[in-house]
Amino acid sequence: MCGRLSQYRGIHDFVAVLSIPDALINHVGDAPLAHYNAAPTTSLAILQQHNHQVHAQNLRWGWRPHWAKDRAPPINARVEKVAHGPFFRSIWRHRLIVPVDNWFEWVDAEDHTRQPWLIRRADHGPVFCAGIGQFPTPDTQARDDDGFVIITADSEGGMLDIHDRRPVVFGAELAREWLDTATPLERAEQMLLFEGEKTEVFEWHKVDRAVGNSRNQVAGLIDEVV
C-alpha cells in the first residue's frame, strides 16, 4: 500500500452500511469529509468502540511508540507481525476501522514514469480497513503522539499486479466484530489472517498523475483516465 487514500463521503454514509444498532457518538461532524487525496499525517475519520458505543473521531494517519523516535511514524502494519511484534504491542488491543472510499497505488508505466491507479469496491460501497491506534476515549485525554496505522496483507499476487501489499478490508459484519472490544485477541488475529475481503470484491482504474501531489484535493482525481 503506497500511502494515499480517499475519504470523501460523510461519516453517516459509512456508518449506515455498518448498521450499528446504537447511536453513533460523532466527533467529526455531519459534512462530507472531502479528502480525495489524503496522505500520511493527515487527520482522518476513524471508528472505535468504547463502552459498547461506536465513536467517530479524527486521528492522525501514522503512529510510533514513544521509544522509536529515531524513525518516521509508520502508516501501515504488516499482518504477519502486528499481533506479536514489539513495535505495535502497546496498541494491538486498540482496534479501529478506517472507513475509506478508495486507495491509490503506483505502478511502473511503459514510458518509465509511475502511473497511479485507484482501487475501490466493485459495488462502490465503503471500504472498511482494519487498523489499530492510540486514541483518546471519554476516560482519557488526547496526546500529541496519538495516531493510527492500517493493517496490510499480501495481495495474493497483486491486484492487476499493481502492488504486493494491500489493506485488510472487512465487510460490514466483520467490521462490527473487529470494533467490538469483547472480540478476543486470538479471534481478531484470525480475522486479519483469513477473513479479509478477496480480490474479486474490488475494481481498479488509472487516474490522473496529479494525484501524486497531495496538495491536489479536487474530486476529479478519482475519475478514470485512458
Give the active site residues: 2, 105
Give the total residue count for the chain.
226
Among candidates 193, 188, 206, 225, which has minimal Cα distance to 102? Answer: 206
Among candidates 64, 70, 195, which has minimal Cα distance to 128? Answer: 195
- C-alpha cell at position 19: 448498521
Using CA atoms, how far apart are residues 8 and 100, in angstroms rounded to an integer? Answer: 8
- C-alpha cell at position 18: 455498518
In the block, residue with C-alpha cell 450499528: 20
- Measured CA to CA in angstroms, residue 121 lies from 21, 88, 167 at distances of 24, 28, 12
Among candidates 57, 55, 44, which has minimal Cα distance to 150? Answer: 44
The 8-class DSSP code of residue 61 comes to B
Instruction: Please give the biggest Cα pair distance in the chain.
Output: 54
54 and 22 in contact (C-beta within 8 Å)?
A: yes
Using CA atoms, how far apart are residues 61 and 6, in angstroms rounded to an integer? Answer: 13
Among candidates 96, 77, 46, which has minimal Cα distance to 153? Answer: 77
